[in-house]
A = this chain, B = another copy of it.
Amino acid sequence: MQRYFLNTAYGTTTPQSYEVSGEPFHHMVHVMRMEVGTQVYLVFSDGVSVEARIGQINSDSVVLELGNREQVHRELPINVTIASGFPKGDKLEWIVQKGTELGANQFLAFPAKTSIVKWDQKKRQKKQERLQKIAQEAAEQSHRQSCPRVVLLENQSQLLTQMQTADQVLIAYEESAKKGEHAQLVETFKKMRPGQQLLVIFGPEGGFLPEEIAQFLSAGALCCGLGPRILRTETAPLYVLGAASYHYELCQAEPTSVD
């Protein structure tokens, strides 16, 4: 069943109907050629997801009758932010697409010292809008109940500022993997409480310079390994998100499962 993310909140008044115009209207009527009676999900900005039936189609809007709230909870219990040093090519596009399917709450990207691409303010703005659209399409397709936010940062000090708002910060560090570090990601997952934010930092293809690692560490980040194999910059974030889902959504429901 098609789902649409809305900019307005569902609130506490349990509305009986809702009128959409603009982009979702266009997609329902002109792209999907939906007719009166078609069922969709409307996802409101406060994360409420509601079954809705098209009741009336106007020339520039659609009126939907709102039904029951979606019962299944589809979001990770913690908010995972993926922070990637600007990678080459279209890797950021698919980190955002796959990471959204896997439950990421937010994507940050920043110019790391070894990042090859240089994006000025205009280019960053354009790319951010494109990535936000990719995130929304992936969120709709994967039945998310919230759409991840995508922000392209201008410099690393903006990343350090973002780190201050996170409850836990990890660095996916190749050297930790090489040294066989294995406990940190598990320990961090165990420490975290529902609704808290985990920010995980990933380097670009060239990795991080020692001074970058030192700066992150002094800002409170911890290094973690992601298993004994060396993962590419676009693969490591998917490992962390898959592990988070396995830990919280598959194992937690079975408390003794990894004894």
Q: Identify the stretch in A36-44, A57-65, A149-157, A176-184 within 8 Å (CB) of chain B at 4 or more residues.
A: A176-184
Give the distance in Å from the alpha carbon of A178 to the alpha carbon of B141 in the complex. Answer: 13
Residue of B nearest to A229 (CB): B142
Given A73-B228, A245-B239, A185 and B143 touching (CB < 8 A)? no
- Whether A254 contacts B183 by the Cβ 8 Å rule is yes
Closest-CB distance, A125 to chain B (whole angstroms):
28
Q: Identify the stretch in A18-26, A97-105, A192-200 within 8 Å (CB) of chain B at 4 or more residues.
A: A97-105
Q: Does A227 contact B (CB under 8 A)?
A: yes
Give the distance in Å from the alpha carbon of A186 to the alpha carbon of B250 in the complex. Answer: 7
Q: Copies per complex? A: 2
Given A180-B72, A249-B228, A257 and B186 touching (CB < 8 A)? yes
How many residues on the A side are at the interface (Cβ–Cβ under 8 A)?
Answer: 48
Kindly identify which residue among B103, B186, B230 contacts A251, using a CB–CB cutoff of 8 Å: B186
Given A103-B227, A238-B238, A257 and B190 touching (CB < 8 A)? yes
Residue of B nearest to A74 (CB): B228
Residues of A56-108 contacting chain B, CB below 8 A:
72-74, 98, 101-103
- Whether B182 contacts A229 by the Cβ 8 Å rule is no
Chain B neighbourhood of A210, CB < 8 A:
none
Q: Does A27 contact B (CB under 8 A)?
A: no
Q: Does A134 contact B (CB under 8 A)?
A: no
Kindly identify which residue among B180, B230, B242, B257 contacts A242, using a CB–CB cutoff of 8 Å: B242
Give the distance in Å from the alpha carbon of A242 to the alpha carbon of B226 in the complex. Answer: 9
Chain B neighbourhood of A189, CB < 8 A:
258
Closest-CB distance, A244 to chain B (whole angstroms):
9
Residues of A134-185 contacting chain B, CB below 8 A:
141-144, 178, 180, 182-183, 185
Partner-B contacts on A (CB < 8 A): 72-74, 98, 101-103, 141-144, 178, 180, 182-183, 185-187, 189-190, 225-232, 235, 238-239, 241-243, 245-247, 249-259
Known: A186-B258, A187-B257, A259-B259; 12 extra A-B contacts, CB below 8 A, are A74-B228, A142-B229, A182-B253, A182-B254, A186-B254, A187-B254, A190-B257, A226-B245, A228-B249, A235-B238, A242-B243, A256-B259
- Closest CB pairs A-B (n = 10): A242-B242, A258-B258, A243-B246, A186-B257, A227-B245, A74-B228, A239-B242, A142-B229, A251-B258, A227-B249
